[in-house]
Structure 1
Amino acid sequence: MTKKTKKTTKGLSYRDAGVDIDTKGQFTTDIYSKMKTTFSPRVIENPDGFGGLFALNSRLKKYRQPVLVSSTDGVGTKLKIAFMMNKHDTIGIDLVAMCVNDIIVLGAEPLFLLDYLASSKIVPKVLHEVIDGIAEGCRQSGCALIGGETPEMPGFYHDSEYDIAGFVVGVVEKDKIINGKTIKPGDMVIGLSSSGIHSNGFSLVRKVFFDKAKMKTTQSLSKYGLNTTLGAELIKPTKIYVKSILKVLNKHKTKKIVKGMAHITGGGLLENIPRILPEGCAVQLERNRWDVPKIFDIIQNVGGVNDQEMLRVFNMGIGMVLMVSKSDAETLLDDLRHAKEPGMVIGEVTRGDRIVHIV
């Protein structure tokens, strides 16, 4: 009589469920060298730790009453453009820009940033390109990339797609916080040019070009007056204003020359500027004082989008707005020129109820 042997079967693994722990571990190890390119002496290296370390004392000793400033953001559906083009090396710059531009308006110097990069499956080549962009954005803003998370979430995201978010921490002297409280009628509104669409309004952009006009990212825009392709124009990274603005602010340490700043993101000029206006103040912008990039004219004409909607959705060529007293306007404009971020007077603060008029 033969003895029966018990049949054994291999149990399910995490890899069977779509998550490759080995690939993730190697990816995490590989990106540390990219992170180190953003480090300063303030960063305490902790490559295998559960959190990033940043030494406050070595940096904050110059501050009497340091206030930490934080912000978090993503890049919205601009990610869809990266997927369509299979181009992922600039979307990380957008991520950093959306975070650091939001805290520079308070006068805060960015210290460090964490990223969240989730995907259905870790594809090292693609995600390395994303990290390259994040590291570049951090270098452009003087910010250290000290950590993050890269979850692999099969079944949650479409194949070959990912999502990104960033969290930044900065610092500002308490009595140097720029909050718009001293803005008053008669002050000048100075605009800094955008590099294009930046990272807002892409749900409408995609509706116009890909759903309505049935265009491809490879299509030339020469017939519309732009010597580039649609994809190349749409994927342009968001401008980072941090170093130029900090240079101006640091030049005037004894005087708060800038009264208020607004990062022109979703909501455009009409909805972002009122966020910094005190009661009793409004703003009148003169439309002929700045050049609107051609891409906005193309969006409007191809999509049949009305003027009001364009102004509520897009930056229309102005990525950052600064408020300054009339007597300091020329000084600020000169400082901006020296900081290689020339500005222009685009309007004036008037009496009113926290609203923007464009004439």
Structure 2
Amino acid sequence: MGSPSETPANPYAAAGVDTAAGDLAVELMKSAVRRTHGPEVLGGVGGFAGLFDATALRAYTKPLLATSTDGVGTKVAIAQAIDKHDTIGQDLVGMVVDDIVVVGAKPLFMTDYIACGKVFPQRIADIVRGIAEGCAATGTALVGGETAEHPGLLGVNDYDVAGAATGIVEADKVLGAERVRAGDVVLALASSGLHANGYSLVRHIVARAGLQYGGHAADFGSSWGEVLLEPTRLYTSPLLRLIADTGDAVHALSHVTGGGIAANLARVLPRGSWVDVDRSTWSPSPVFRVLADLGDLDLAATEGTWNLGVGFLAVVAADRAEAAASALGAEGIETWQVGVVSDGPLPDGDFEQGAKGVDGGAVRLVGSYQDGAK
């Protein structure tokens, strides 16, 4: 047993945990986090728990809380490879908060969790600043979070991020399969790129091609890392405005994440219904074509992995589809019709029927993608 003189002044620091660095990270992120706070948020930054005044819920007849949790996946490996961490936070908000709007809910608040091998204050602040900016863009209060240093478990430059959010919707306004009818139009909302799904395939392709994330991507005029870190488009605010402005025209929404277009649309369709999604109505973004070519893959082979240019799908009443597409276009989101819901006999073919435990409708992609830019 060592003598008192041999005992480290800070044994936790000697074990690899720097609490002072964690405190500095909090100081660096405080102003960004506070900008997401309205009068409903109490207690400021740094408490054991975030407090949110729920008085406004009294205005609801039958308020339902909606919740979602997710991460960013292996996209963080690319951020780490080029030491660029200011966009991953927006990806996290997109993966978490945009799931809540699928049921028509308005997000209220979000919390985040960052696990890392070592706390680098500016890096943590960059990540949280991105989360805060995404929260501000979606009307979500960032009410709390945690940064945990895990030396020996994670490498010095390794980290992962996750988050959870809560929203609210009136019970009789919940969107979903129950509202969908034959003849409804399916609208596609353009993605900003890969968003935050399918990066294990992306990284596999890049590695096999012998590319470096810091290397120049001739097709895009920037580094590969910058191209692949294009942040996830945020749909929550435009979709909530669309729902508010069109009454009951929006029947269901689908967030195109893991599983691709067909599987995610099938989840929000009623049993017995089906949709043919027409590939000829759009051209997948260049990033998908270039990656598929590098991997010697047909685009169709990636449809269960990547969004291929469609980040969200909206199922709307046929007589309001044109107005809905126009409204979303005015918000800067290219929107177009890709299919129509049918409840007739299911044609022969390879359909996705439900997904992720949901016994929903059937969807398949038909036709060929456009060659040029849409």
Pick aligned residue for 2:213 from 217, 223, 229: 217
The one-letter code matched in structure 2 to 1:113 is M
CA distance in 1, matches of 2:141, 2:248: 27
Matched, 1:265 2:257: yes
The Cα RMSD (Å) is: 1.7
3-state SS of the aligned residue for 2:364? strand
Residue matched to 1:328 = 320
User: What displacement does 1:177 show?
Assistant: 0.6
The one-letter code matched in structure 2 to 1:282 is W
Pick aligned residue for 1:132 from 121, 129, 133: 129
Residue matched to 1:15 = 13
Give unmatched runs, 5+ long, in structure 2. Answer: 347-352, 354-360, 367-374
Matched, 1:43 2:41: yes
CA distance in 2, matches of 1:294, 1:26: 41
3-state SS of the aligned residue for 1:105? helix
Q: Percent identity?
A: 36
User: What displacement does 1:302 show?
Assistant: 0.8
- Deviation digits for residues 273-329 of structure 1, max 9, x if unmatched? 111111111111111111210111111111022444310000000000000121221
Residue matched to 1:236 = 230
Aligned residues: 348
1:247, 1:339 within 8 Å by CA — same for their partners in 2? no
CA distance in 1, matches of 2:3, 2:132: 52
Pick aligned residue for 2:241 from 232, 247, 261: 247
3-state SS of the aligned residue for 2:250? coil
CA distance in 2, matches of 1:135, 1:299: 31
User: What displacement does 1:157 show?
Assistant: 0.8
Matched, 1:72 2:69: yes
Moved more, 32-41 or 94-103: 32-41
Report the TM-score when normalising by structure 1: 0.93
Give unmatched runs, 5+ long, in structure 1. Answer: 1-5
1:248, 1:339 within 8 Å by CA — same for their partners in 2? no
Q: Within 5 A, what are the aligned runs for 1:150-299?
A: 150-210=147-207, 212-222=208-218, 225-252=219-246, 255-299=247-291
CA distance in 1, matches of 2:147, 2:341: 45
Residue matched to 1:319 = 311
CA distance in 2, matches of 1:196, 1:104: 20
Closer, same or farther: CA 7–114 of 1 in aligned 2, 3 Å: closer
Residue matched to 2:365 = 358
User: What displacement does 1:216 show?
Assistant: 1.2
Structure with the greater alpha carbon radius of gyration: 1
The one-letter code matched in structure 2 to 1:14 is Y
CA distance in 2, matches of 1:233, 1:23: 31
Residue matched to 2:111 = 114
Closer, same or farther: CA 29–232 of 1 in aligned 2, 3 Å: closer
Residue matched to 1:103 = 100
User: What displacement does 1:180 show?
Assistant: 1.9
